[in-house]
Chain A
């Protein structure tokens, strides 16, 4: 996967810092840079991907992806729920809100004015995310325990 030379718009370190702040504040979980960096593979097996889009002076989207087990654990912390006590809808709600927070804070670094979409969440196995008409600005791989979390920032490009 090719990552565009980002220039000053948003950096991998900024994305990592934002995601770490969200994880520590709301989940009390450490999120550390993946030792394999850009070479880290996407989470394997059942995964959830949250997405928010930015439209306006800057156009693009932010994707947050993690394993289904990690998403469920995070949701249980957010809901203060017993293990296994949440519905799939509640897990998606929690991951959507995590994506919204990460995306909203990334949007604050980008040229404005612009609007942030409501989050959407997809679940599945072994899928690839493609964004037509966009280039990948950053792909940030992090680790929460043994689970990989990736945050991808895509920028729309003029045809």
Chain B
């Protein structure tokens, strides 16, 4: 499977990649994009099986990215990894079609709990 990590921080993309390995998902290929614009292009070109996206990004942010995917009919599995995790944001994310929202800081256990069912489907 292919997992697309979308985050404007290079450090955070590396941490998410490392955490995926620690959570037992090392066998999956990892793709990267730096914002929603790159994310939309990468989803179109690579058809990843799962998108893990930051919320707060330049150009096109995470929720705009998700809504743009759904508007063009793309139902790729999508989850947020973000430093903000209010109830309102979780509700907004789920209404837009996200499967989960992982709050930063996170652990490998958090990733395993959120992604196991998603990647097994």
A contact set with B: CB distance below 8 Å: 21-22, 25-26, 75, 78-80, 90, 93-94, 96-97, 100-101, 103-105, 107-108, 112-113, 116-118
Contacts and interface: CB of A to CB of B under 8 A. Distances in A.
A75 B11 contact: yes
B105 A26 contact: yes
A45 to B, nearest CB: 23
Interface of B: 8-12, 14-15, 18, 56-58, 82-86, 88, 103-107
B33 to A, nearest CB: 16
Contact of B105 (A93, A101, A108): A101
A10 B84 CA distance: 16
Nearest to A99: B83
Given A25-B107, A116-B56, A118-B56, A108 B84 contact: yes
B9 A108 contact: no
A48 to B, nearest CB: 14
B86 A101 contact: no
A112 B88 contact: yes
A79 B11 contact: yes
A41 B11 CA distance: 29
Contact of A104 (B11, B15, B104, B107): B104
B8 to A, nearest CB: 7
A78 B84 contact: no
A80 B105 contact: no
A104 B89 CA distance: 12
10 contacts: A21-B105, A80-B14, A90-B10, A97-B11, A101-B105, A105-B83, A108-B84, A112-B88, A113-B88, A116-B56
Contact of B9 (A97, A107, A112): A97
A107 B15 contact: no
A78 B15 contact: yes
Contacts of B10: 79, 90, 93
Given A100-B104, A104-B56, 7 more contacts: A78-B12, A79-B14, A93-B9, A103-B83, A104-B84, A112-B86, A116-B84
Contact of B83 (A78, A101, A113): A101
A108 B85 contact: yes
Contacts of A101: 83, 104-105
Contacts of B104: 22, 100-101, 104
B15 to A, nearest CB: 6
